[in-house]
């Protein structure tokens, strides 16, 4: 041991041997296990009880079997409490040792040492121990054997840093291996961190190594360890859809975060993607360079959790080797990229940066598959915050080489292209020895086509046909499925590869026209030359590397030549949509004929393939026809459609039908609509006939079959037969499955009806089981302020952020684990049919989800700026008849903002037989204006089928028998009390009445910003006809014109609220896009926007203005005819609502919106206003009824009296009610024995 004042780093030296390129952890002979007993004394520190706080050796005495120096900085906890061991669960027993850094003399690091005995010289051993840090601290963990660092040799970092596990999480695991050089050796644990930093250690164990771990340097294919003489069950490239071939083994590309392939593998805490990494491997041009280009990672991985890859489909009892590939992210440091790898409890602590920044590393483990045929490699970062291990790809192979006949794992895919477009066919196969390939066209070998790919440089009619490939080796052969190559008419730039756009974001307006196509300035090509693809932001490009995008509404078109008049053709292409903002519409026309009807295009998301579309067959009316893709915005706002690989394909006479798009199975809620559609090509005319469970559906003879409101009897299998004179074809089966909503599951931040709660409200359906901040069980709806809508996802009408505080951005909200709980009732439900699909986001990270106290395997939430999806079924966890709980645990790393957001997107549990109806959520009423549409909805439970009958003022509404009642084009006559009766064969239930009051009439001539007189949104740069700029701080844009701001950043891909549907942003100038041009924007100062409207002839006491406004930077006030209202607006993320009822006059009125722009010059500024004026209508007089008796006569009178009214009478107030024929007010009848009740029904 060193003495006081010695230079520790001279004593604790590093071995001068360089880190080997491959460190094989050798197997130890079994005989050595029994011959020697390796011993670490007092391994869990339970031999002593320290009583003097805070537990230093100096105040208590030595630790049995260990030496601590300095004694005033090393000791045991607990000791009169646990001032150092203040978080986490003690791994073994009651005590842990602590090593507090030596702040008295930092040149002498704090050390805890012992002697290991019973070692066999030359044998490799593994030592594992548990480590933690005092709350909020980051001590070092350095381990030495006989004064030599065990954590690598010429490494640059002799140990690692760790952090507090927090809460009741488990301690970290640290594991290292060494080769014994003597029968006993000194083990030293050192904490030399700067400042007051305390390390906690416990539960030391030693045993001979398993010899199953190998880590090695990875520089390319040559040292990748990939050997085609072994059979690979798994080989995948992460972060990209690109396949990589390494030494003849294909690594299949899996794009996007949280990579997984059904029935092959899953991952945890690998939800983030980094593309385009430049390192020492990427320039080689081999398969390893492809793998090393992109990676996935976890961000924050809290204690108790781990990153992992779980492989499936293994043969139980067979031995395998799993390898993961990574690349150094920075030079070695104690603070970065340390992780403990774990395979069935066999652990090893490694560093991603072992071979320095940009140096590749591969980690392998040899194992035997268990009875489940699965295996999981886990790796837990030792510092949780943003230093997760990066994974570029992985493989899994059999451990012993054997001959294996070829197996095709990815079949060649057919393709439809225009003439002149290149075609590449590919097959992925495995086998031992490596297989050979022979491609064929129409059954004949293609000379020289002996690779796993076959390329046609320029497609022509001669190249069209049926392609397959024979894959062979000495163990056998297999023939692929047929890939049909179809070649259409010649087109120019049909796959959008002819141009390279340099100017971001790829608009035609900023670059040049798309070759061969007529397009708008708001159309373009993605990605641009530097690889950025803001519009083509999801999906795998169908052909080549580029796609066309259409953000602006309108047509992208090309004149196609070579048609034969009277011949038949169809259009084939691929489509997708940008992920952000709203959903675009797309229509395809040839000449004036619509061949693909207008339809919405949802983004495919992630690395999924684009949608493949084949149009209706059409007859060419001319030798040259214009092919047009017409983009629209059916939802308003900003949206972008993507297209690629366009072809116009001839249909030969006598062609029998071929289904190009199979009807898709659907899962819908009871009462929702459902539509099945089939796509087919073939000689005209085509005929369609739909079948349900094999029985013909009469009248279902179109390409689409729709069910307006799905009932129980509609659940089943649907097929369609498509026929023409040359033959017929039957579609695959499309299943219609019913969902029964779990109505007691509610998203965060909404009320019983799903309406967003106000900021600061207590969420009635979510509670906090654990709240380190205040201890309160209440969850509060977060305010509409930072970080919501900027760092965090913005709130929507579906859900809102909740947390321990309404002021979510507070910097002093306590760190620690927050456990949020919601409950739901499954009484009367079949607990074997539960489905809960949703998504969650959290700050910092969401760790554990549990149902009824049992942890379920769902992806952890790793981001507050993006959703993480989850799916829980009865197969995952048992559910209970009655009340169930779901808990979401969120770890707030340190003091600062924290919150939770959950949306349940699909829930279901089938109701058991014999359950009568019950109303789960009553319909809600409200106020409405004339001309509006109002919707009543009821949620009911009970055994299916359920039947609905809506009523107004207690009277049945004919034909209104769905769960939803929609009233359109309202008038005052629609005011009333609405309820619904729900029934099945076991009973019925009637909802509470909901009152609709149609008491407002819209006032014409009052407009929001950025709309024309017809209410439609203005074009970019248009002058607003209803708002003027009456005061401006910018001398270059003094007004009075206010312009519709160009719909790019800061609106699109920016921080402002998106345009539409009722208004758009206006400003002193249209150009506010500083991301494109830093000079854009306007000067700092005050801007006043005015709108003028006429209320002449109106009763001003009955007029109100209702709206919302958003501004950049702040809204100072709204003036009504020059008078302040005191209404302010905080920002540009959401509309701040307002109502104005005072200060108006019966004549010309002005509203002035005062906006302050700050702080830089120039700086984006703008105004957005939704505004409508209403006249409050007089409430109709309440009806009255009188009953009087004179002798034997009874007179019934009522007011008001109107044509069409009916007088009804009944012996009881509950009925049965019968019409009194011919009765008008007043009505006189003779009294009879007993009570009689009367009512009047108005039409």
- Of the candidates 1106, 1093, 1089, the one whose C-alpha atom is nearest the C-alpha of residue 1146 is 1093
User: Which range, of 397-411, 772-786, 852-866, averages the lowest pLDDT?
Assistant: 852-866
DSSP track, 774-828: T---EEEEPPSSTTBTTTBPPP-SS---EES-S-TT-TTSPPEEEEEEEEEE-TT
Element (H, E) at 441: strand 436-441
Q: Which range is most confident: 240-244, 564-568, 869-873? A: 564-568
What local confidence, expressed as pLDDT, does residue 269 receive?
87
Please confirm whether the linkage preceding 1050 is cis (ω < 30° from 0).
yes
Please confirm whether the linkage preceding 1216 is cis (ω < 30° from 0).
yes
Torsion angles phi and psi, residue 8, rounded to 5? -55, -40
What local confidence, expressed as pLDDT, does residue 385 receive?
64
The whole-number average pLDDT for the span 703-714 is: 91
Confidence of residue 1051 (pLDDT cuts 50, 70, 90): confident
Residue 943 pLDDT > 50: yes
Enumerate residues 6+ apart whose C-beta is below 8 A from 952. 976, 977, 978
Confidence of residue 19 (pLDDT cuts 50, 70, 90): very low
Residue 28 pLDDT > 50: no
Q: Between the CA atoms of 1186, 1187, 1188 and 1193, what dihedral angle is there, to the nearest 10 degrees?
A: 140
What local confidence, expressed as pLDDT, does residue 1204 receive?
78
Between strands 415-419 and 483-490, the pairing is parallel
Per-residue CA distances from 1127 to 685, 987, 1075 (Å): 64, 53, 32
Q: Would you state the structure tokens that stand for residue 109, as one six-digit string?
A: 């690091």
877: number of Cβ within 10 Å: 20
Residue 2 pLDDT > 50: no
The whole-number average pLDDT for the span 417-430 is: 94
Q: Which long-range contacts (CB under 8 A, 24 or more apart) does 27-31 make?
A: 27/209, 27/210, 27/211, 28/123, 28/124, 28/208, 28/209, 28/211
Confidence of residue 891 (pLDDT cuts 50, 70, 90): confident
Residue 138 pLDDT > 60: yes
**Residues 418/648, Cβ–Cβ less than 8 Å:** yes
The CA distance from 226 to 360, in Å, is 14
Residue 934 pLDDT > 70: yes
pLDDT in tens, 271-308: 888 989 999 999 889 999 999 999 999 877 878 888 99
The whole-number average pLDDT for the span 759-774 is: 95
Confidence of residue 1053 (pLDDT cuts 50, 70, 90): low
- Render the burial of 173-182: b for 16+ CB within 10 Å, e for the rest: bbbbbbebee
Confidence of residue 879 (pLDDT cuts 50, 70, 90): very high
Please confirm whether the linkage preceding 1200 is cis (ω < 30° from 0).
yes
**Residues 668/738, Cβ–Cβ less than 8 Å:** yes
pLDDT in tens, 427-486: 989 899 989 999 999 999 999 999 999 999 999 999 999 999 999 999 999 999 999 999
Instruction: Identify the residue whose tokens are 């509950």.
Output: 1214
**Residues 498/473, Cβ–Cβ less than 8 Å:** no
pLDDT in tens, 1165-1211: 999 999 999 999 987 666 788 888 888 888 999 888 877 788 988 88
Torsion angles phi and psi, residue 1140, rounded to 5? -120, 125
The CA distance from 638 to 1048, in Å, is 9
What sign does the CA torsion over 1107, 795, 752, 946 have? positive
The whole-number average pLDDT for the span 1121-1138 is: 90
What local confidence, expressed as pLDDT, does residue 22 receive?
40
DSSP track, 1067-1092: ESSS---TTT-TT-SB-SEEEEEEEE
DSSP track, 650-696: EE-TTPPPEEEEPPPPEEEETT--EEEE-EEE-SSPPEEEEEETTEE
- Of the candidates 87, 95, 113, 86, the one whose C-alpha atom is nearest the C-alpha of residue 51 is 95
Residue 634 pLDDT > 90: no
The CA distance from 556 to 548, in Å, is 9
The whole-number average pLDDT for the span 570-591 is: 93
Per-residue CA distances from 271 to 173, 266, 301, 1142 (Å): 23, 11, 11, 53
Confidence of residue 386 (pLDDT cuts 50, 70, 90): low
The whole-number average pLDDT for the span 1067-1085 is: 82
Residue 903 pLDDT > 90: yes
Residue 930 pLDDT > 90: yes
Q: Would you state the structure tokens that stand for residue 1182, as one six-digit string?
A: 């309440």
Instruction: Identify the residue whose tokens are 């049919």.
Output: 833
The whole-number average pLDDT for the span 1124-1149 is: 92
**Residues 307/381, Cβ–Cβ less than 8 Å:** yes
Residue 153 pLDDT > 80: no
Q: Between the CA atoms of 206, 211, 215 and 221, what dihedral angle is there, to the nearest 10 degrees?
A: 180
| Higher-scoring residue by pLDDT: 10, 834 | 834
Residue 14 pLDDT > 60: no
What local confidence, expressed as pLDDT, does residue 1178 receive?
82
State the chain's mean pLDDT as an integer. Answer: 91
Instruction: Identify the bridge partners of residue 1184 per DSSP, sorted by sequence position.
Output: 1199
What local confidence, expressed as pLDDT, does residue 1101 receive?
94
| Higher-scoring residue by pLDDT: 84, 1163 | 84
Does the global pTM surpass 0.85?
A: no
pLDDT in tens, 1204-1233: 788 988 888 778 888 888 888 899 988 877
1081: left (phi over 0), alpha (psi -120 to 50) or beta: left
Q: Would you state the structure tokens that stand for residue 1098, as one six-digit string?
A: 């109106």
- Of the candidates 267, 303, 271, 297, the one whose C-alpha atom is nearest the C-alpha of residue 384 is 303
What local confidence, expressed as pLDDT, does residue 169 receive?
87
Residue 18 pLDDT > 50: no
DSSP state of 58: H
What sign does the CA torsion over 116, 118, 122, 127 have? negative
The whole-number average pLDDT for the span 861-868 is: 84
Q: Would you state the structure tokens that stand for residue 376, as one six-digit string?
A: 């999981």
The CA distance from 1088 to 1068, in Å, is 10
pLDDT in tens, 591-618: 999 999 999 999 998 778 999 999 999 9
Q: Between the CA atoms of 634, 636, 639 and 643, what dihedral angle is there, to the nearest 10 degrees?
A: 20
Residue 974 pLDDT > 90: yes
The CA distance from 186 to 150, in Å, is 12
What local confidence, expressed as pLDDT, does residue 893 receive?
78
Element (H, E) at 720: strand 716-724
**Residues 800/806, Cβ–Cβ less than 8 Å:** no
The CA distance from 349 to 380, in Å, is 9
The whole-number average pLDDT for the span 625-643 is: 91
Confidence of residue 1074 (pLDDT cuts 50, 70, 90): low
pLDDT in tens, 164-185: 988 888 999 999 999 999 999 9
């Amino acid at each position: 041991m060193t003495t006081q004042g010695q230079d520790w780093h001279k004593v604790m030296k590093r071995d001068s041997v360089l880190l080997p390129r491959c460190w094989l952890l050798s197997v130890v002979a079994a005989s050595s296990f029994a011959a020697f007993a390796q011993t670490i004394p007092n391994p869990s520190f339970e031999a002593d009880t320290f009583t003097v706080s805070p537990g230093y050796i100096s105040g208590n005495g030595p630790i049995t079997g260990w030496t601590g120096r300095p004694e005033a900085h090393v000791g045991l906890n607990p000791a009169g409490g646990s001032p150092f061991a203040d978080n986490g669960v003690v791994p073994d027993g009651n005590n842990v040792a602590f090593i507090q850094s030596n702040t008295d003399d930092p040149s002498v690091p704090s050390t805890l040492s012992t002697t290991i005995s019973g070692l066999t010289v030359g044998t490799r051993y593994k030592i594992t121990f548990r480590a933690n840090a005092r709350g909020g601290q980051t001590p070092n963990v350095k381990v030495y054997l006989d004064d030599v660092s065990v954590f690598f040799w010429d490494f640059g970092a002799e140990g690692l840093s760790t952090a507090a596990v927090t809460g009741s999480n488990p301690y970290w695991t640290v594991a290292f291996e060494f080769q014994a050089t003597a029968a006993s050796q000194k083990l030293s644990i050192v904490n030399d961190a700067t400042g007051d930093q305390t390390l906690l250690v416990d539960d030391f164990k030693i045993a001979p190594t398993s010899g199953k771990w190998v880590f090695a340097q990875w520089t390319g294919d040559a040292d990748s360890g990939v050997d085609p003489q072994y059979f690979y069950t798994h080989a995948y490239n992460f972060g990209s859809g690109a396949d990589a071939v390494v030494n003849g083994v294909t690594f299949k590309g899996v794009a996007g975060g949280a990579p997984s392939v059904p029935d092959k593998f899953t991952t945890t805490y690998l939800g983030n993607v980094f593309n385009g990494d430049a390192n020492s491997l990427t320039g080689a041009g081999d398969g390893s360079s492809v793998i090393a280009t992109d990676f996935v990672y976890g961000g924050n991985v809290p204690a108790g959790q781990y990153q992992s890859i779980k492989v499936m489909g293994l043969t139980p009892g067979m031995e395998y080797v799993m390898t993961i590939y990574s690349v150094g992210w920075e030079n070695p440091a104690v603070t970065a990229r340390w992780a403990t790898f774990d395979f069935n409890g066999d652990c090893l602590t490694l560093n991603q940066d072992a071979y320095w920044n940009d140096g590749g590393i591969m980690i392998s483990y040899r194992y035997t598959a268990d009875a489940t045929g699965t295996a999981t490699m886990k790796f837990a970062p030792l510092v949780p915050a943003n230093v997760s291990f990066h994974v570029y790809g992985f493989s899994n192979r059999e451990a012993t080489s054997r001959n294996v006949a070829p197996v095709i794992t990815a079949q060649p895919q057919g393709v439809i292209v225009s003439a002149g477009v290149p075609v590449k066919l590919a097959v992925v196969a495995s086998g031992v020895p490596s297989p050979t390939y022979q491609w064929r066209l129409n059954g004949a070998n293609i000379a020289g086509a002996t690779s796993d790919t076959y390329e046609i440089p320029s497609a022509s009619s001669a190249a069209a046909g049926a392609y397959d490939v024979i894959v062979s080796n000495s163990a056998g052969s297999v023939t692929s499925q047929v890939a049909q190559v179809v070649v259409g008419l010649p087109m120019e730039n049909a796959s959008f590869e002819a141009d390279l756009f340099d100017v971001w974001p790829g608009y035609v307006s900023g670059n040049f026209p798309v070759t061969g196509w007529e397009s708008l300035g708001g159309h373009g090509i993605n990605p641009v030359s530097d690889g950025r693809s803001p519009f083509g932001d999801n999906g795998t490009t169908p052909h080549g590397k580029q796609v066309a995008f259409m953000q602006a509404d309108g047509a992208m078109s090309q004149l196609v030549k070579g048609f034969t008049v009277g011949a038949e053709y169809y259009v084939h292409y691929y489509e997708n949509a940008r992920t952000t903002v709203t959903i675009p519409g797309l229509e395809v026309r040839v000449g004036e004929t619509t061949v693909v009807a207008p339809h919405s295009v949802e983004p495919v998301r992630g690395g999924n393939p684009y949608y493949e579309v084949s149009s209706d067959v059409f007859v060419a009316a001319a030798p040259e026809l214009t092919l047009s893709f017409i983009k629209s915005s059916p939802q308003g706002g900003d949206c972008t459609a993507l297209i690629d690989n366009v072809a116009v394909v001839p249909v030969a006479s006598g062609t029998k039908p071929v289904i190009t798009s199979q009807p898709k199975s659907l899962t819908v809620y009871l009462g929702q609509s459902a539509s099945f559609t089939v796509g087919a090509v073939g000689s005209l005319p085509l005929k369609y006939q739909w079948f349900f469970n094999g029985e013909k559906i009469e009248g279902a003879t179109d390409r689409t079959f729709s069910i307006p409101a799905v009932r129980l009897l509609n659940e089943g299998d649907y097929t369609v037969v498509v026929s023409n004179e040359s033959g017929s074809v039957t579609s695959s089966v499309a299943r219609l499955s019913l969902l029964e909503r779990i109505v007691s599951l509610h998203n965060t931040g909404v009320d019983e009806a799903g309406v967003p709660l106000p900021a600061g409200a207590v969420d009635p359906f979510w509670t906090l089981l654990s709240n380190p901040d205040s201890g309160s069980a209440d969850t509060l709806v977060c305010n509409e302020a930072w970080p919501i809508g900027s760092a965090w996802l913005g709130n929507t009408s579906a859900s809102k952020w909740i947390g321990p505080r309404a002021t979510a951005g507070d910097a002093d909200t306590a760190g620690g684990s927050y456990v949020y709980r919601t409950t739901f009732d499954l009484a009367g439900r079949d607990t074997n049919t539960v489905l809960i699909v949703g998504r969650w986001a959290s700050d910092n990270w969401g760790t554990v989800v549990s149902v009824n106290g049992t942890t379920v395997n769902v992806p952890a939430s790793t981001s507050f700026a993006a959703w993480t999806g989850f799916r829980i079924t009865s197969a995952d966890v048992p559910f209970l008849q009655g009340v169930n709980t779901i808990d979401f645990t969120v770890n707030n790393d340190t003091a600062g903002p924290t919150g939770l957001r959950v949306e349940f997107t699909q829930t279901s549990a089938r109701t058991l037989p014999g359950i009568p109806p019950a109303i789960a959520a009553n319909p809600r009423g409200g106020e409405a204006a004339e001309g509006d549409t109002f919707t009543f909805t009821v949620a009911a439970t009970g055994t299916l089928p359920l039947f609905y009958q809506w009523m107004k003022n207690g009277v049945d509404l004919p034909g209104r028998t769905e769960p939803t009642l929609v009233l359109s084009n309202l008038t005052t006559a629609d005011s009333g009390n609405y309820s619904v009766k729900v029934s099945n064969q076991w009973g019925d239930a009637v909802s509470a009445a909901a009152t609709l009051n149609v008491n407002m009439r819209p006032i014409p001539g009052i407009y929001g910003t950025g709309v024309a007189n017809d209410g439609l949104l203005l074009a970019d740069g248009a002058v607003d006809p209803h708002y003027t700029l009456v005061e401006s701080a910018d001398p270059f844009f003094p007004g009075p014109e206010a312009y519709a701001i160009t719909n790019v950043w800061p609106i699109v891909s920016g921080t402002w609220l998106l345009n539409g549907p009722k208004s758009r942003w206006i400003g002193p100038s249209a150009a506010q896009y500083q991301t494109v041009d830093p000079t854009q924007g306007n000067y700092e100062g005050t801007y006043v926007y005015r709108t003028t409207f006429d209320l002449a002839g109106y009763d001003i006491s009955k007029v109100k203005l209702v709206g919302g406004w958003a501004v950049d930077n702040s809204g100072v006030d709204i003036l009504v005819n020059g008078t302040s209202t005191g209404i302010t607006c905080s920002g540009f993320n959401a509309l701040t609502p307002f109502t104005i009822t005072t200060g108006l006059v019966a004549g010309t009125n002005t509203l002035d919106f005062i906006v302050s722009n700050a702080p830089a010059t120039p700086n984006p500024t703008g105004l957005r206003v939704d505004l409508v004026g209403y006249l409050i209508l007089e409430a109709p007089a309440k009806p009255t009824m009188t009953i009087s008796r004179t002798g034997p006569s009874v007179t019934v009178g009522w007011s008001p009296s109107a044509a069409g009214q009916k007088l009804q009478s009944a012996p009881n107030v509950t009925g049965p009610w019968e019409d009194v024929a011919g009765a008008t007010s007043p009505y006189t009848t003779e009294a009879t024995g007993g009570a009689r009740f009367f009512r009047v029904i108005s039409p």
